[in-house]
Amino acid sequence: MTRGNDDVRMRGFAKRHTVSEAIAWLDSQLRPLPVEDVPLHLAAGRVLSNPVVSDLDVPGFDRATMDGYAVVAGSTEGASSYNRLPLTVVGDSMPGRPFEGSVGVGEAVRIMTGAPIPAGADSVLAAEWVEIEKTEGKTLNSINAIADVSPGKNIGRSGEDIRRGTTILDAGRVLRPQDLGVLSSIGKAVVSVVRRPRVRLVITGNELLPAGSPPSGFQITDANGPMLAALIERDGGDVVFPGLVRDNPDMILKALQTEADVIIVSGGSSVGIEDVAPTLLAQHGELAVHGIAMRPSSPTGLGRIGDRIVFLLPGNPVSSLCAYDFFAGRGIRALGGRSKEWPYRKLTGRLNRKISSPIGRLDYARVKLENGLVEPLAVAGASLLSSTTRADGFVIVGDDSEGFAAGADVDVWLYG
């Protein structure tokens, strides 16, 4: 625990927490947010709060799966192109407009795909297995079957898609577009989902220009804002980012006290004279973790102010990305009902040269996949954001390891 008077500016960290210690504190603070109801058309990408059980069958009636003629299967027995069997057409069944009568032996009802199977019929003779008798100036009332069908052929049964009482979607599912289609098919107009975390993004630095501005003089353009906002949205958070914040204690404190579920501060988290965010958090809330044995992202801090979880991320872009992935992203996903784990695919590859790391520190090494091998790009260089665009992913060297030798098989977490 870091106390309010533990000001590390210009003195450095007396102790660094392990990544495991930081994650343990974070996980102890995390509970899914309350449930809210949203219209079906706004539910894509949201996290389902409760299982969905269907209270009806889909489809609700037997229907044709092909265009053709609804018949009694026995009426076609033995039919072939050499043994045409005549059938009398007694009506039509169309989607939404069924045939009201009944089909008897030797009779047929013209039917379209999706239309209800009329009473008496037990199969659908496909249109290509029918020879139509054309009579000048007369309504079609006779066809010839030139193939036979078995009972049940070309019929979709009631409930074959969804049975009444079936759980169709489980709680915790991130809803996909096809899930919305299924929900609509059972008549769900409103869906109960976990509320999305509201995340106040605080980008600090007197040297920063707004994102997209050309760098000028000794000022640099904000890269962390667009990157972090995109990561927050990926992880299901609602971003609140009214603009850059100066390295001013009053302005930073005001931002820390914004009404939100999560506060992410990027910049001002280290031990420089203008790095006031940790001190403010310790004075006005709780600075539970500050300084972590990892590279990059060592100056990361975690804490609370009021009912808000606060993440203090370094200003160097790669450090900010790494700290977000390890801590802030995990918190946002958990609050929103998602899995805490990384949303990255993992593969195993062979290193083409070694990665060195000291015992007691976790390292985040950016790597590229080249000719079936894993090529380390950098472990250091926290300000070189372009290294992450050149990289295909990253390898984690645990704090109990001295690294990996050339030729070792390693787990690679893929950015894309």
pLDDT one-digit tens code per residue, 323-358:
999 999 999 999 999 999 999 999 999 999 999 999
Determine the 3-state secondary structure of 225 from DSSP: helix
How many helical (H) and strand (E) elements, i.e. helices and strands, does the chain have? Answer: 8, 28
pLDDT of residue 9: 44
Whether residue 230 contacts residue 325, with contact meaning beta carbons closer than 8 Å, is answered with no
Give me the helices (H) in 152-296, please. Answer: 177-185, 224-234, 249-256, 277-284
Q: Measured between alpha carbons, how far is 315 from 382 in angstroms, rounded to an integer?
A: 9
Q: Is the pLDDT of residue 132 over 70?
A: yes
Q: Is the pLDDT of residue 10 over 80?
A: no
Residues 107-125 pLDDT 10s: 999 999 999 999 999 999 9
Instruction: State the pairing for strand pair 262-266/198-203.
Output: parallel
pTM reported for the whole predicted model: 0.85
Q: What b/e readout covers 97-117, taking b as 16+ CB neighbours within 10 angstroms?
A: ebbeeebeeebbbbbbeebbb
Indicate the pLDDT class of residue 216, thresholds 50, 70 and 90. confident
Q: Is 96 left (phi over 0), alpha (psi -120 to 50) or beta?
A: left
Q: Measured between alpha carbons, how far is 350 from 334 in angstroms, rounded to an integer?
A: 33
Q: Would you list the DSSP string of 297-350?
A: -TT-EEEEETTEEEEEE-SSHHHHHHHIIIIIHHHHHHHTTS-SS---EEEEEE
Indicate the pLDDT class of residue 134, thresholds 50, 70 and 90. low
> CA 257: distance to chain centroid?
29
Q: Would you list the DSSP string of 164-197?
A: TT-EEE-TT-B--HHHHHHHHHTT--EEEEEPPP
| The pair of three-digit structure tokens given for residue 149, joined into one six-digit string | 């069908």
| The pair of three-digit structure tokens given for residue 325, joined into one six-digit string | 């992935």
How far CA 218 is from CA of 275, 315, 394, in Å, comes to 19, 16, 31
CA angle 410, 318, 282 (to 5 degrees): 115
Cβ neighbours, 10 Å, residue 121: 28
Q: Is the pLDDT of residue 7 over 90?
A: no
Domains of the chain: 19-34+195-335 (3.40.980.10), 46-58+160-194 (3.90.105.10), 63-156 (2.170.190.11), 345-414 (2.40.340.10)
**Polymer length in residues for the chain:** 416
Residue whose C-alpha is closest to residue 325's, from 310, 346, 311, 335: 311
Indicate the pLDDT class of residue 3, thresholds 50, 70 and 90. very low
Give the bridge partners for 220, in sequence order.
208
pLDDT of residue 272: 66
Q: Is the pLDDT of residue 137 over 70?
A: no
Residue whose C-alpha is closest to residue 321's, from 276, 261, 387: 387
* Beta carbons within 8 Å of 248's beta carbon, 6+ residues apart: none
CA atoms within 13 A on the CB side of 258: 21
* Beta carbons within 8 Å of 375's beta carbon, 6+ residues apart: 352, 353, 367, 368, 369
Give me the helices (H) in 49-195, please. Answer: 177-185
